[in-house]
A = this chain, B = another copy of it.
Amino acid sequence: MSQATNTFVEQNQERLLEELKQFLRIPSVSTLPEHAGDIRRAAQFVADSLKGAGLENVEIIPTAKHPLVYGDWLHAPGKPTVLCYGHYDVQPPDPLHEWISPPFEPTLRGGNLYARGSADDKGQMYMHIKAVEALRAVNGTLPVNLKFLIEGEEEVGGESVAKYVAENPAKLKADVALVSDTELFAEGLPTLCVGLRGLIYTEIEARGPSRDLHSGMYGGAAPNAVYGLVELLSKLKDENGVIQIPGMYDDVAPPDPAEKESWSALPFDEKEFLDREVGSTRLTGEPGYPVLERVWARPTLEVHGIAGGFTGAGAKTVIPARATAKVSMRMVPDQDPEKIIAAYKKFVQDHTPAGIETEVRILSAGRAISVNPNHPAIHVAAESFRDVMGKDTVFIRSGGSIPIVGDFAKYLGIPTILMGFGLPDDGLHSPNEKYKLANYYSGIMTIAHFFEQYGKAPYGQ
């Protein structure tokens, strides 16, 4: 481990924080059209940061939706090439009134930096850029070849980057990809993620009468779009959360016994998980599966939102004409998204109540990922992590989805190191998202150390 880069980080703490705050102040919410200008500003900020760190050929690449940012440094012949990926877009901040400090005014409290995107993913992807800056400041050069590809649509399906990767395999050729968009299993515990669930995100619209009707005049004879949607959605899962779509579990690959064994050794406290993270009266889910297996290795279905009819203050006696719901399914290896989508659409059609018409829209679909923990780059990453944090690295999965990892495997033929520095209670996608400031600094150190170690490893393995 290079003491010099660590010292550089320590001496520049204040500036490194101030620059990240500038980045976090840009409300680059990718799903809301009114933030299109902020998305462009965030892309420009990334491009400027890459140039500032010494990367070359920096470009902002227009797409059908939000721009990509690319940059590279290719002056380490005979050394491996790392493709660094991250995203500069963030989730919407609502419900706004639940934030203690404003979501786009980064605020330090108790050693944590509170802001939308602080952990997911601005704070983490920015560490890659700052690791490059530290190495160049200390050594005047870099130990590996580097390519950066940063996108602005991760929270809305990432179609543009997927298309770009598929169409530019030569330009993006590398030995391994590096992504910091995951978390440590516990504070101070070096963690590599070797599995991600896939995601199919959909919208269901239900239509009943041609207009909202008076419930006194028509109640008892007219179909109700809200109730029709409720009846349909209620059939998707049983009371234990078991998905009722035929064939849903047919191709589910169970984790191998060694992997399951390693999970049971992880420092996981179910009561603490319930009380500190979930905050409900009890946990739910499929009987017979431990919590980590339920969220990492089992398919799930969630309704993210529902809207229809009158929802203002007070009373309005309508039979609503329309209603919509956002519904997603998480998939595990070896489930095929196309097969699941077909079964889902058929289920919705078969269970649409009489008098109601439904339409299903597929917003995005990406399959589950697993990374071979025996790949040499993963080994170097695990060792670098251990060197900086002083504990053996654990291998876990994540219940979340990073579709680009599948595209790197498919189009570039490379594995991805999922080396994240978030913490389980960071509140991704929730109000009061935060990132532990100490992890921002140690993340920069760890990534710089990984670049150095990977540059020393025998190339070609």
Q: List A residues at the B interface (Cβ < 8 Å).
A: 30-33, 91-92, 94-95, 98, 155-157, 197, 199, 201, 207-224, 226-227, 230-231, 233-235, 237, 239, 241, 273, 277-286, 291, 294-295, 298, 300, 302-320, 323-326, 328, 330, 353-357, 363-364, 398-401, 424, 427-432
Closest 10 CB pairs of A and B: A210-B279, A216-B400, A305-B309, A234-B234, A31-B314, A220-B294, A307-B311, A305-B310, A219-B300, A305-B311
How distant is A378 from chain B, measured CB to nearest CB, in Å?
21
- A278 near B213: Cβ-Cβ < 8 Å: yes
Given contact pairs A223-B280, A230-B230, A284-B221, A303 touches B309 in the complex (Cβ within 8 A) = yes
A286 to chain B, nearest CB (A): 7
Contact B278 A209 (CB under 8 A): yes
**B400 and A217 form a contact (CB under 8 A):** yes
A398 — which chain B residues lie within 8 A by C-beta? 216-217
Q: Are A224 and B308 in contact (CB under 8 A)?
A: no
**Are B284 and A211 within 8 A (Cβ)?**
no
Return the contact of A330 from the options B211, B219, B241, B282 (Cβ within 8 A).
Answer: B219
Known contacts: A156-B315, A316-B305, A401-B216. The answer to whether A280 contacts B355 by CB under 8 A is yes
Complex contact A355–B282 (CB within 8 A):
yes
A293 to chain B: closest residue by CB: B220
The interface residues of chain B lying within 8 Å CB-to-CB of A323 are 306
Q: How far is the CB of A205 from chain B (nearest CB, A)?
A: 12
Contact of A399 among B31, B218, B316, B330 (CB under 8 A): B218
A363 lies within 8 A of B315 (CB): yes
- Nearest B-chain residue to A297, judged by Cβ: B220
Q: Which of B156, B295, B427 contacts A219 (CB 8 A)?
A: B295
Tell me the bound Cα distance from A251 to B220 in angstroms.
Answer: 18
Contact A227 B216 (CB under 8 A): no
Q: Tell which of B281, B291, B354 touches A282, judged by Cβ atoms closer than 8 Å.
A: B354
Once the chains bind, are B317 and A281 in contact (CB under 8 Å)? no
Using A326-B316, A355-B284 as known contacts, say yes or no to A302 and B227 having CB atoms under 8 A apart.
Answer: yes
- Set of chain B residues within 8 Å of A277, measured between Cβ atoms: 213, 218
The winner among A227, A291, A295, A307 for most chain B CB atoms within 10 A is A227
Residue of B nearest to A314 (CB): B31
Contact (A221, B285) CB under 8 Å given A227-B302, A400-B216: yes
| Bound: A23/B435 CA distance, A | 58
